Amino acid sequence: MKVISAAFAIAFGLLVLAGYFIPALAPIQAVLIKWAGILLAVSALIGVFNLVIVHGEKIRSREKSNAYSTLLLISLLLTFVFGLALGPGHPIMQGVVNGVILPVEASLMAILSVTLLYAAIRLLRRRVDVMSVVFLLTVLLIVALSLPFAGIPLLGDVLRPWITQVWAMGGARGILIGVALGALTTGLRVLLAMDRPYGGK
């Protein structure tokens, strides 16, 4: 059975890949992609169900911070019910989003700024090497050049673009190329069933 499923996965993967290069296979690719989209949509519900099970188990076993798990489950249930009943464009739903979801995530983003600053300050405490110093100097430069008064013609128009568009971008492109090659080989490995971390032994 596992062999059959693996064979199907390999065949469909190769069809989707070939559909990018062979126009005749484009309709088949489109169909397969639509099916994948449906499966992903269903997986979203499965993920929510998994979330419910985990926090429910946490509440049942009275683990630490199970109160938050209770709040989460209540919120999830209410949102789900109101969303199905009223629709996502309903003002109530908009109020929930505007009053709960958005502020929470915005706060997390704000904490992120503190965390990043703290991490940057502690970098040299953790390790002192060339890359760490260069990293910090770069950060300082970019931050400085981003200041409003950095609109100084030399600093704002030449230096900052040269650092960000040339050096940073060059490094970023190199990293992205390497990541792309790694993703390519990893995808081919999984496509050819040479690596299946999931699916049993």
Partner 1 sequence: MADIQCSICGKKNPANTAVCQNCGASLSRGGESIQPGQEPTRKTTSELEQGLPTWLRDARDQRRQSSDDEVQLPSQPSSFPPSSLSGMDLLAGLQSQSDDDDEEIPDWLSNLTGDAGASKKSQPGAVENRRVELGGPSKPAREPEDELPSWLASLSASPAAADDRGKKEQSPADDASAVSPFGAFADIEPPTQAEEAGADWLTSLQSDASISEDAVGSEAGAFASVDLPDWMKADETPAPAPDTDVVTSDWLKSLDGQVAPETSSAPGLSEPVTDAADWLKTLDAAEGPSVPAPAAAETTDFDMPDWLKSMGDAPAAAPTPAAAPEVSADADFFMPDWLKGADEPSAAAPSAPSAPEPASAATDFETPDWLKGIEPTAVNATAAADFDMPDWLKGADEPAQPQTPSADFNVNLPGWLKSAKVETGEPAKAKPFAAAEPSAPPEPSGPVFVPAFTDFSMEEASVIDTPDWLANLGKTPEPSNLPTPETSMPSPIPEDMDSEFTSEPLAGDLDALFTDMPDWLNATSMTPSASGQQPSADETEAEKLSPASLPSWVQAMRPVDTASNPLDAAAGETMETRGPFAGLQGVLPSATYLGASSKPKSLAIKLQADDEQQNQALLLEQIMAAEAHPEPMITPAGVNSQRILRIAIFVLLLAVVTGAIFMGTQIFPLPLGRPAETMAAFNIVDTVIPPDAPVLVVFDYEPALAGEMEAVAAPLLDHLVVKNHPRMALLSTSPTGAVMAARMFSGPLGELPAIQYVNLGYLPGGLSSVRAFAQDPTHTLVLPPDVSVFNLAPASVWASPTLQGVQSFSNFAAIILITDSVDAGRTWIEQAGPLRGSAQFVVVSSAQAGPLLQPYYASGQINGLASGLYDAAVLEQNNAGRPGTARRYWDAYSLGLVLILFLLAGGALWSLAANLRERIASKEAG
Partner 2 sequence: MVELSAILILLALILLLALTFLRRKSPPTFRAIPALTRLSRVIGLSVEDGTRLHVSLGRGGLLSGRGGASLAGLSMLRYLTERTSVSDSPPVATAGDPALAVLTQDTLRAGYQAANAEDLYQPTTGRLSGPTPFSYAAGAMPVLRDENVSANVLMGDFGPEVALLVDAAERARVPTLGGSDDLPAQAILFAAAQEPLIGEELFSAGAYLGAGPAHAASLTVQDILRWALVLVLLGGSVMKLLGMI
Kindly tell me the sign of the dihedral angle through the C-alpha atoms of 109, 110, 116, 122.
negative
Q: What is the DSSP letter of 147?
A: S
Instruction: Give the residue, chosen from 66, 70, 138, 164, that forms a contact with partner 1 under the rule CB under 8 A.
Output: 164
Instruction: Give the residue, chosen from 7, 14, 74, 117, that forms a contact with partner 1 under the rule CB under 8 A.
Output: 117
- Helix, strand, or coil (residue 1): coil
Question: What does the radius of gyration of the chain's CA atoms come to, in whole angstroms?
Answer: 25
Binding string, residues 16-45; x marks residues near partner 2 by CB under 8 A: -x--xx-----------x--xx-xx--xxx
Using the rule CB under 8 A, give the single segment among 3-11, 58-66, 170-178, 186-194 that binds partner 1.
170-178
Which candidate, 173, 143, 136, places its Cα nearest to that of 160?
A: 143
Alpha helices in the chain (DSSP H): 2-19, 26-60, 66-86, 91-96, 102-126, 130-145, 160-161, 169-191
Instruction: Give the residue, chosen from 92, 169, 181, 183, that forms a contact with partner 1 under the rule CB under 8 A.
Output: 169
Using the rule CB under 8 A, give the single segment among 57-65, 72-80, 140-148, 192-200 that binds partner 1.
140-148
Token pair 């199905």 in the structure block, residue: 84
Residue 15 has which token pair? 């069809």
Of 47 and 199, which CB lies nearer to partner 1 in the complex structure?
A: 47
* Binding stretches for partner 1 (CB under 8 A): 26, 30, 33-34, 36-38, 40-41, 44, 84-90, 93-94, 97-98, 101-102, 104-106, 108-109, 113-114, 117-118, 120-125, 128, 136, 139-140, 143-144, 146-149, 151, 156-157, 164-165, 168-169, 172-173, 176
